[in-house]
Amino acid sequence: MPKKILKAYKIRLYPNAEQQVFFAKSFGCARFIWNKMLGDKMEHYKTTKTTLHNTPAQYKQEFEWLKEVDSLALANVQQNLRAAYSTFFKQGTGFPKFKKKGIKDSYTTNNQKGTVAITQNTVKLPKIGHINARFPDKINGLIKSATISRTPTGKYYVSLLVETITTPLPKTHSTIGIDLGLTDFIALSDGCRVANPKFLAKLQDKLAREQKILAKRRAVAKADQRRLSESRNYQKQKLKVAKVYEKITNARKDFLHKLSFTLIKNHDVIAIEDLNVKGMVKNRKLAKAISDSSWSSFTTMLSYKAEWYGKTLVKIDRWYPSSKTCSNCNHLLTKAELPLSVRTWNCPVCLQKNDRDINASINILHQGLILVKQSKTVGATGLA
């Protein structure tokens, strides 16, 4: 059965000088209203211990230039701020922060009966009209919203949220378990491994080198008592760092998209570990490996792609000892018997030679299939 889904398309924009000014103004207003509303809320709470329910409209009289930008951009700021407060109160972490210029410059607007639209080579936006664009994919469906952003390297993008239809992929009757590798990116229960792409490692080395130079230039400017904004060498190097960083982010995302799609296409059930990445990143030794591997964005991609294409993603409890259990006879090693440095081990009971990561992925698959079976049985009794 085809399914209605929301899909985001990222499109490169090529605004002319006038349009760039409009975007700069819009980013500025969105940032201003966020900071102003947040500041006033905090101030109000300090004196009254109650929540201030402020709206962008209240500020338009005092700050007339707010009227020059898309009013939906400001309305979306209000909504995002409300969402940020709500997450803070629900999860108790990350109080909303003030926004700084040049970091995540963006604003969001909504499509109201065709105010946001696309042609073959332009995107139409409220208040500014058609902007030249390059589309990587064909876009079909109803556009719900558009988020316009500028990267630190000065590129413009619009992310269109589109209501579209997906068709499930054909069933393959194949199942697979995935273990997050330490040396490789992942190890699979069919014995395959997927390495971290080499070019990523190369780019990361380059990033480290450029960052070192940046730190030196910062120190030089400081010693000369010059502001960083006035130090040309520092600014030049900062742009260089941003460019390498952007390249890494894009290349990594591309790699994860292709890999997650291949797995979803080739298998009906995909079992993974529900890793607490936040907890693991705190562990210094693992930090680089984990963040490099981008495990959490990978699992997010698997999760929504499984949903889109009619496949099953099952997550295994992160406390399940997938590495220490022998996938052949279920014998469990102690922690001391399997330190992180041991890559292969011989089961003392059945004598099977276990590759640490492949063995773990086989266990993850076994557990996953048990969970899938259980959920089906529960479903069946529920129906009866």
User: How wide is the angle at C-alpha 301 spanned by C-alphas 296 and 304, nearest 5°?
Assistant: 125
CB 325, min distance to Zn ion, A:
9
CB 329, min distance to Zn ion, A:
3
CB 349, min distance to Zn ion, A:
5
CB 322, min distance to Zn ion, A:
14
Residue 302 or 347 with smaller CB distance to Zn ion:
347
- 357 tagged catalytic: yes
CB 328, min distance to Zn ion, A:
4
Cα 372 from chain centroid (whole Å) = 27
Residue 57 or 332 with smaller CB distance to Zn ion:
332
CB 116, min distance to Zn ion, A:
59
Residues 6+ apart with CB under 8 A from 353: 344, 345, 346, 347
Cβ neighbours around 23 below 10 Å, total: 23
Residue 263 or 358 with smaller CB distance to Zn ion:
358
Residue 165 or 349 with smaller CB distance to Zn ion:
349
Catalytic residue among 70, 210, 268, 357: 357
Catalytic residue among 273, 292, 317, 337: 273
Which two structure tokens, joined as six digits, stand for 337?
Answer: 């018997």
Residue 168 or 191 with smaller CB distance to Zn ion:
191
Binding site for Zn ion (CB under 5 A): 326, 328-329, 331, 347, 349-350, 352
CA torsion sign for 185, 187, 188, 193 is positive
Long-range contacts (CB closer than 8 Å, 24 or more residues apart) made by 159-163: 159/8, 159/9, 159/10, 159/11, 160/8, 160/9, 160/11, 160/116, 160/118, 160/123, 161/6, 161/7, 161/8, 162/6, 162/7, 162/8, 162/9, 163/4, 163/5, 163/6
**Residue pair 247/199 in contact by the 8 Å Cβ criterion:** no
CB 357, min distance to Zn ion, A:
17
Residue 220 or 329 with smaller CB distance to Zn ion:
329
Catalytic residue among 70, 105, 179, 210: 179
- 307 tagged catalytic: no
Phi, psi at 83, each rounded to 5°: -65, -40
CB 362, min distance to Zn ion, A:
12
Phi, psi at 178, each rounded to 5°: -120, 130
**Residue pair 301/313 in contact by the 8 Å Cβ criterion:** no
Which two structure tokens, joined as six digits, stand for 2?
Answer: 């085809």
Q: Which residues pair with 156 in a beta bridge?
A: 13, 150
Helix axes 295-309, 232-266, angle to 10 degrees: 40
Residue 118 or 362 with smaller CB distance to Zn ion:
362
Q: CA-to-CA distance for 168 and 166, rounded, in angstroms?
A: 6
**Residue pair 365/271 in contact by the 8 Å Cβ criterion:** yes
Which two structure tokens, joined as six digits, stand for 364?
Answer: 């993850």
- 179 tagged catalytic: yes
Residue 194 or 333 with smaller CB distance to Zn ion:
333
Host H or E run for residue 3 = strand 3-14
Q: CA-to-CA distance for 67 and 29, rounded, in angstroms?
A: 9
What are the residue numbers of the active site? 179, 273, 357
